[in-house]
Amino acid sequence: MYSRPFQAGEKVQLTDAKRRHFTIELVPGGQFHSHKGIVEHDEIIGAEEGTVVTSTLGADYLCFRHLLVDHVLSMPRGAAVIYPKDAAQILVEGDIYMGARVLEAGAGSGALSMSLLRAVGPEGTVFSYEVREDHLEYARANVAEYFGEEPAWWQPRLGDFGAVTREDLGGPVDRLILDMVEPWHFIDTVKQLLIPGGVFMTYVATVPQLMNIMESIREAKCFTEPRAWETLLREWKVEGLATRPEHRMNAHTAFLVWTRRLADGVTPPRPQRKARR
């Protein structure tokens, strides 16, 4: 899809001089209207990506197809999405590799599902559990719109994650990610579904949630000492001597918690902490 001229029926993102984005679906004979004039769809159809089109009032617009990040930030939502800065951390820290069997719960609006599906590829499998039917419908629609159809290696499922068994999945999974309000209630389920050495990550928004999941992982005594962090993203405005940080930034969205499953029967070493004075 990235190596051909624009086709009718495709979605195109127009970017103006102020970096404002407008998404349109190309229709023969169609028009994009704004206070800066009219852009004819026919001027975009058949043009190469990266083209500049000019409106009837002289405004220039850059034309590009959506990248994954554009799709995630503009798609309809039934639930809050995992933002790209956190999804990127999950892919790398979670070691999501081609061919992996990955389980996520809950699927929300499908933002993380798309990143996981691209990472594991057709050789892998992504199981996406969601307890709310309306949220799962959003996820299925958003994923299908991005890929053109639901990928064959994706298994979206409506149901309670706590009731999932290895038999439901055809065996254990390599990686497991939870995005839910009370993930600490499902530690036993995680233990049963995840292979020894497998990575378990959670995405929680508040400090009480963070404290509960960290302590629950430690109390289970079948995981490594968990790590927790948040990612703060700040862009910079670079214009000669006016170079400075942007006034607005993507600050706290959630905490990520990371740990690995131990082999059965193994007791984790007790972490050594500095003595308090």
Residue list, annotated binding site: 109-112, 130, 135, 160, 179
CA–chain centroid gap for 275, Å, is: 39
Q: Look-up: residue for tokens 């990266």? A: 50
Q: Known binding site for S-adenosyl-L-methionine: residues? A: 109-112, 130, 135, 160, 179
Q: Which residues pair with 53 in a beta bridge?
A: 61
Three state DSSP letters for the chain: CCCCCCCCCCEEEEECCCCCEEEEECCCCCEEEECCEEEEHHHCCCCCCCEEEECCCCCEEEEEECCHHHHHHHCCCCCCCCCHHHHHHHHHHCCCCCCCEEEEECCCCCHHHHHHHHHHCCCCEEEEEECCHHHHHHHHHHHHHHHCCCCCCEEEEECCHHHCCHHHHCCCEEEEEECCCCHHHHHHHHHHHEEEEEEEEEEECCHHHHHHHHHHHHHHCCECCCEEECCCECCEECCHHHCEECCCCECCCCEEEEEEECCCCCCCCCCCCCCCC
